[in-house]
Amino acid sequence: MNIGIINTGGTISCVGTPLSPMTAKNFANACTSIIDPIIKENYQDLNISYLTGLEFPESSTKTLDSTNLQPTDWCRLARYILDNYAFFDGFVVLHGTDSMDFTGTALPFLLSAFDANGVQVAALSKPVIITGSQMPMFYQAPNAETPSSLLYNTDAFQNFCGAVAAAQSGIPEVCVYFHNTLFRGNRVVKTNASEFDAFSSPNYPALGQYGINFTINSGNVLPDPVTEKVSIDNATTLALGKTG
């Protein structure tokens, strides 16, 4: 199975005191050397690719704190997912927490298309899992150029692992994974700025939980695309999704 990791920015990929953002490439290199060997022990058939081609031109690091993300950036992210859609079985989007719920609401609409009567003509068929953290992922010593280890007492690694598990589930939705819980992306809200349990879904039940094992509440999950014709696995429909 092939999972694509897209880093838009946020606390999860910051280092130092005070915090400063890493570039997507530097973060990817740190993940490859520190995190991937741990994940590989649990998922031996999983291939993780860090997609570093998404750039936000207004930022010197080409990543953005989520407070600065604009609707044009949601469109940029959605197009990048669609451009890479055929090559992966699922995606993890790393994101700052301040507007994660806004992105979780926008992407389901941007990754699909509807005709003039509101009938869906392009439907998401793979997991797109948004996650981030209240604390950074890595420790980087003063004056060092690269991180040396995972940061102690951080939620970043747990959220990353849970999002990777969810991205392998096959559910055809945009979701937010945070603090052991998988939520529908357009039903989640940020409700706490100082605890690891930062998000909730007041009006719709959780889609899954990660305890000892990862479990999906299948009755709460959206169905697969109704026909192959509307699935964006179909190359013609994927092209429609890019213009819709």
Alpha helices in the chain, H assignment, sequence order:
24-30, 36-42, 71-83, 100-110, 156-167, 235-243
**pLDDT value at position 117?**
87
CA-CA-CA-CA torsion sign (57, 62, 67, 69): positive
Q: What is the pLDDT of residue 127?
A: 98
What kind of fold does domain 2-243 have according to CATH? Answer: Rossmann fold (3.40.50)
Ranges of the chain whose pLDDT falls below 70: 241, 243-244
Give pairs for 136-140: CB < 8 Å, separation 24+: 136/11, 136/12, 136/13, 136/14, 136/15, 136/19, 137/12, 137/13, 137/27, 137/30, 137/31, 137/35, 138/15, 138/30, 138/34, 139/15, 140/15, 140/16
Instruction: Provide the pLDDT for residue 57.
Output: 86
**Residue 17 and residue 137: Cα distance in Å, rounded?**
13
Query: Nearest 5°: CA angle at 186, between 171 and 66?
Result: 105
Please state the length of the chain.
Answer: 244
Domain spans of the chain, in order of start: 2-243
Q: Which two tokens stand for residue 211?
A: 């305890």
Residue 125 · residue 231 · CB < 8 Å: yes
User: How far, rounded to the nearest angstrom, does the alpha carbon of residue 12 sit from its chain's CA centroid?
Assistant: 12
Separation between Cα atoms, residue 113 and residue 232, nearest integer Å: 10
pLDDT of residue 17: 86
Q: Scanning the structure block, which residue is given the tokens 């990543």?
A: 63
pLDDT for 244: 57
Whole-prediction pTM: 0.95
In the prediction, which pLDDT does 226 show? Answer: 87
Write down the pLDDT at residue 243: 65
